[in-house]
Amino acid sequence: MDQSSSFEGQLVALLPRLRRFAHALSRDPADADDLTQATIERALRSKGRWEPGTRLDSWCYRIMRNLWIDTARARSRKTAREAPEEAGLNVGEDPRPGIEAAVDLRRVMAAMELLPDEQREVVALILVEGFGYREVSEMLGLPIGTVSSRLVRGRTALLAMVGEA
């Protein structure tokens, strides 16, 4: 079996996309990489539970999303005690899109950061990661109607924030 078709080889190929989704979930580059690392570690440990022939990407996205829910839950308890002032800080400058970053890209990124988690994950999976409604419904264990209505609310709120220019 050559490198690219092995389980680990496929995970390596998935890393860029997993990082992108991790950014959408965590809204922070360092947290995103921690989350990505935790995801691949979990995937390696659970290798035996992945069914060859099924989509490895969906499987990994699901692992990542569940890990993020655990992290976010633990963290919201912590930040509620410690640091309430951070909420507004993420909206401004963001180096991610690079030097040539257009203002509207920063705006759309900032708007994403303001969406509630449950809408943001659905928007990221469907509009950024390119999954279908059915795939996301299976991945998140939600009825397809819930996925669809969260997507409507999320993208409508985004458009309102970004402006209809």
Judged by the rule CB under 8 A, the positions of this chain that interact with other proteins are 1, 3, 6-9, 11-12, 15-17, 19-20, 23-24, 32-33, 36-37, 40-41, 44, 96-98, 102, 104-106, 108-109, 112, 123-124, 126-128, 132-133, 145, 148-149, 151-152, 155, 158-159, 162, 164
Cβ 116 to other proteins shortest distance, Å: 16
Q: Determine phi and psi for 54, rounding to 5 degrees.
A: -90, 170
Cβ 94 to other proteins shortest distance, Å: 9
Closer CB to other proteins, 6 or 76, in the complex: 6
Cβ 144 to other proteins shortest distance, Å: 9
Q: How far is it, in rounded angstroms, from Cα 79 to Cα 138?
A: 31
Closer CB to other proteins, 55 or 79, in the complex: 55
Cβ 50 to other proteins shortest distance, Å: 14
Closer CB to other proteins, 20 or 75, in the complex: 20
